[in-house]
Structure 1
Amino acid sequence: MKYTITIPEQFPAMSVKELLEDYFLIPRKIRHFLRTKKHVLVNQQIVHWQSEIQAGDLIELIFDEEDYPEKVIPWGTSELVEVLYEDEHLIVVNKPEGMKTHGNDPTEIALLNHVSAYVQQTCYVVHRLDKETSGAILFAKNPFILPILNRLLEDKAIYRDYLALCQGHLLKKTWTMTDKIGRHRHDRRKRIVDPKHGQVAKTRITLVREMGNYSLVNCQLETGRTHQIRVHLSHHGHAIVGDPLYSHIVADRLMLHAHKLTFTHPFTLETISVHALSDSFEQTL
C-alpha cells in the first residue's frame, strides 16, 4: 500500500519523526520497518527523520503486507450503501434504520460488510449507531487512518448531531444532560442512569419545535455511551417515540436519526460536514 499526502498550509511545525509517531500514530514496529526499508519519502527524496516538514511537502508512505495484514470479512451488497462523503482514506454513509453497524460474529452481514463491498476492500468501524437508529456514520477505508480517526473521536473532535422525536414538552429550549450511564442489572440490552457507578455522559439538547404532545429536538453528543440519547431523554420523562426499550409509545421505527456529522480531515485540515436525510424525519421538518 502506498499513500501520498500533501502537507497543508495550516499544518503545525514538526519533524518527520514527530509526524509519523505523534500525528499519524504509526506503531513503533511499523515505523522501524519504514525507516530500515526507506519507505518514507519527502518530495520523492529520502530525508533525515529529524528534518522538519514544510507546507506543500509531498509525503509518501509505503506499507508492505506484513505492516498491516488485511482483515478479511464477508462482503455484503454494495447497492445498499448511500454515500455522503468519500475519499481515499474514509467514507461516510447514511445508515438505514433496522440495520446493525457491524455483526456480532464474523459471518453476520451488517452495514460494515455492505460498505466493504462498495469500497471493494475491508473497511473499519470508527463509531457505531444502534441498530434502530439511522443516519450519518463514519468508516475508515484502511488501517493506517483508523487510529487517527479514533483519536479524533476520543478528543471529541467528531461532532454528531441527532434529531429525536420525544414525548412531552421540554421545560427549557436548551438543556445539557450530564447524568452518568451504567448497565441495567437485570436486562443486558438496557442502560440506566447510575449516579454512583455509571460512566460520564454529556448530551446537549436543543428544541427544534413542539408538535402536539411531542417535541422534535436536536441532540449533540459530547460522549458516546451506549444508548446515551435514549437513556438521557427517557430518564427525564421525554422518551423517544418508537423506542422498543425505553418508551411505551409504539411507532414504525425508533425516531432517532443522526442527521449531521462534522470533523476536520486529518490530512487536508478541511472541514467535512455532511447531512443525512431520512424520510421519517423529512415529514416532521
Structure 2
Amino acid sequence: MEYTMILPADQSTMTLRELLENEWLVPRKVRHFLRIRKAVQINDQPAMFHQTITAGDKVTLVIEDSDYTHQPVLLGAHEQVSVCYEDDHLIIVNKPVGMKTHPNQPNEQDTLLNHVAAYLAPENMQPYVVHRLDKETSGVVLFAKNPFVLPILGRMLEQKQLYRRYQAVVWGKIDKDQTINKKIGRDRHDRRKRVIDPRNGKSAITHVTVAQNHGTRTNVYCVLDTGRTHQIRVHLASIGHPIVGDPLYQQRTAPRLMLHGYEMHLVHPFTKEHLVVHAEPGLW
C-alpha cells in the first residue's frame, strides 16, 4: 500500500528518521524494512533517513502487507454502516444502540467492526479499533483504516487529544452544571457492573452541562477527563440522576439507554486539520 502525505504548514523541520519514529510512530521493524527497500520518497525522489524534511514536502511510503501483523475480521453487512466522516486514513461512524463495537469471540460477525470491515472490503482495507462504546450506547466511533495510522490515534487517545461529548437524558431535575469526581471500581457482587469505590477505585472525572429540563427528566451533555467502563452511567446514578433506560443502574424501563456519543473533535494526524464530527440526529 502506498501512502502519500503533504506535510502541513506548521510542520517542524526535522530529519525523516525523526518524523517516522517520533511523530508517525512507525515501528522500528517497519522503519528497517522501509530503509532496506528504499521505500520512502520525498517530493518524488528517493529519500535517505538522515535527510531533512520541512513544511510542504510530499512524503510517500510504500508499505507491504507483511510489514504489519493483521488480525482477520469476519465481514458483516456494509449497509449497517452510517458514515459520519471518512478519508484515506480514518473512518468515523455512528454506532447504533444495541450493537457491540467489536467481537469478543472469533466467530462473531454482527458487531460494528465486522460491518465496517465489509464496508471497507471493496477498497482492500481493514478497520482497526481505536476506542469503543458500550453495546447500549450509540454514537461516534473512530476506526483506523490502516495499521500505519493506528498507533498515532492510540497516542492521541491516551493523551486526551480526542474530545468526545455525549448526550444523556437522566431522571430528575439537575439545576446547574457540575463536575463529578468520584473513583470507580468493580462491583464485587455483579461482574457486569461498576460502583463508586473511594478507597480502591480508579480516578474518574465527568463534566456535566445542563441542556434542558423538562418535567421529570433533564437533557445533559457529558465530557470525560477519564475513560472508565460505564463512567457516565455510574457517575450520574451516583448523584441520584440515573440515565433513562439504563438496564443496570436504575429500575424504570424505557425503550433504550438514553446515552449517545454525539460529537468528536480531533486534529488530523497528517493534515493537522481540526475535525468536528457529529452523529446526527442525536437524542434531541
Q: Deviations over 1:249-276 (max 9, x none)?
A: 2100000011101100010000111111
SS at match of 2:152: helix
RMSD, matched Cα:
1.2
* Structure 2 partner of 1:64: 64
Q: Which amino acid aligns with 2:167?
A: L
Match of 1:160 in 2: 164
In the alignment, residue 177 of structure 1 is paired with which amino acid?
I
Whether 1:20 and 2:20 are equivalent positions in the alignment is yes
- Secondary structure of the corresponding residue to residue 203 of structure 1: strand
Identity %: 52
> Which residues in structure 2 correspond to 1:31-42 (within 5 Å)?
31-42=31-42
Contact 1:164–1:216 at 8 Å: present in 2 too? yes
Report the equivalent of 2:177.
Answer: 174
Segments of structure 1 that go 5 or more residues without pairing to the other structure are none
Q: Which residue of 2 aligns with 1:227?
A: 230
Which amino acid in the other structure matches residue 89 of structure 1? H
User: CA-to-partner distance for each residue in 1:204-246, whole Å, 9 max, x for gaps?
Assistant: 1100011112111000122111101001100111100000000
- Tell me the CA shift for residue 137 of structure 1: 0.8
Partners of 1:157 and 1:123 in 2: how far apart? 20
Match of 1:7? 7
Match of 1:267 in 2: 270
Give distance in 1, aligned partners of 2:100 and 2:78.
Answer: 15
Q: How far does residue 72 in structure 1 lie from its aligned partner after superposition?
A: 1.6
Counterpart residue number, 1:113: 114
| Aligned counterpart in structure 2 of residue 183 of structure 1, from 173, 186, 193 | 186
**Alpha-carbon separation, structure 2, partners of 1:264 and 1:227:** 26
Q: Is the aligned partner of 1:249 residue 2:249?
A: no
- Which AA in structure 2 matches 1:101? T
Give 1:48 deviation, angstroms.
3.0
Q: CA deviation at 1:199?
A: 1.3
**Structure 1 position 196, deviation (Å):** 1.6
1:145 and 2:146 matched: no
User: 1:210 aligns to what?
Assistant: 213
- TM-score w.r.t. length of structure 1: 0.95
TM superposition shift of 1:14: 2.1
1:202 CA drift (Å): 1.4
In the aligned structure 1, how far is the partner of 2:253 from the partner of 2:135? 17
| In structure 1, distance between residues paired with 2:53 and 2:14 | 6
Q: Structure 2 unaligned runs (5+)?
A: none
Q: Matched residues in 2 for 1:268 and 1:40: separation? A: 19
Aligned amino acid, residue 127 of structure 2: C
Per-residue deviation, 1:8: 0.8
Q: Secondary structure at the match of 1:157?
A: coil
List 4+ stretches of structure 1 deviating above 3 A: none
Deviation at 1:15, TM superposition (A): 1.5
What is the CA-CA distance between 1:50 and the residue it aligns to? 2.5
